[in-house]
Chain A
């Protein structure tokens, strides 16, 4: 559909740079047809944007006179920290805020970039969403192993160890389904909203705006759901005393 051909404004420059550097290194023949895809370009742009916002902010953090951005971010940090303390347990916010916060910030900015005509949402591509989902999935397993050691894998045997032949595939499938659903949920929502907004843009002026409002709401909601599910999975991995 329309969204296939439409690239962000960063696509051309980055690909020109890529081809130039491939030529300069001498790999022009082998890498000539390889194009840096738009979702990779947009992903890199969002990382650069986040770095540009947050790194200067870090040096200007202040207890007495916080800037507006700092106050806004403190709201979100407190919100997520409260959630984590509630669901995972005491001291969890300190340990898991970096990962959950990074996921939240990246996913939110990626989703919202679908509302700008010169950007494309990287999360409208299955590659990005499954990368995020797999990262969250590996992370919660690592959190479980870090908390419980290798005894973490005993939970796959199920409540009755005698029935382990039945429970191992069941548990494995349910865990893989978590990764799949995390990725597909985010992809489906953002890609669907992006496609519908593209269709609505054919009628100019006021008509796209309700869809874009829905897009903004969906972007926030999907970020929240992704982070919330990651927190719940971490809690499940850490606890798991059946």
Chain B
């Protein structure tokens, strides 16, 4: 319940931050010098990083508690954790590549 309240609060704050962008656009001449590429790239990588971080947090937490329960298997658990972290991170990297394309990095 508290987490839902926090998420709702953050969504409201995010909307508040987006409002000045509208003001910016009105003051430009001729319909906008807004660089939509970089704006889209920022949102893309922010959402991807959030999702990736949540997944990796779960992985690391599960690995740590498994090692705590069974220290003898810590080698195998560490291996599985590293593999899982790298696979989740690769999804974030795919989003990063598209974001770099949108921000005209390459």
Contact = CB atoms under 8 A, between A and B. Distances in A.
Interface of A: 1, 4, 83, 181, 184-185, 187-189, 192, 195, 221-222, 224-225, 228-229
Contacts of B90: 181, 184-185, 188-189
A113 B83 CA distance: 24
Interface residues of B, number: 14
Contact of A192 (B79, B83, B87, B96): B96
Given A1-B105, A1-B106, A195-B105, A188 B82 contact: no
Contacts of A222: 86
A185 B83 contact: no
Interface string B15-44: 000000000000000000000000000000
B90 to A, nearest CB: 4
B82 A185 contact: no
B83 A184 contact: no
A103 B4 CA distance: 47
A184 B93 contact: yes
Contacts of B106: 1, 4
B61 interface: no
Contact of B93 (A1, A188, A228): A188
Given A1-B105, A1-B106, A195-B105, A184 B94 contact: yes
Contact of A224 (B82, B87, B93, B105): B82
Contacts of B89: 189
Given A1-B106, A184-B90, A185-B90, A228 B97 contact: no
A4 B94 CA distance: 21
B85 to A, nearest CB: 9
A107 to B, nearest CB: 13
Contacts of A192: 93, 96, 100
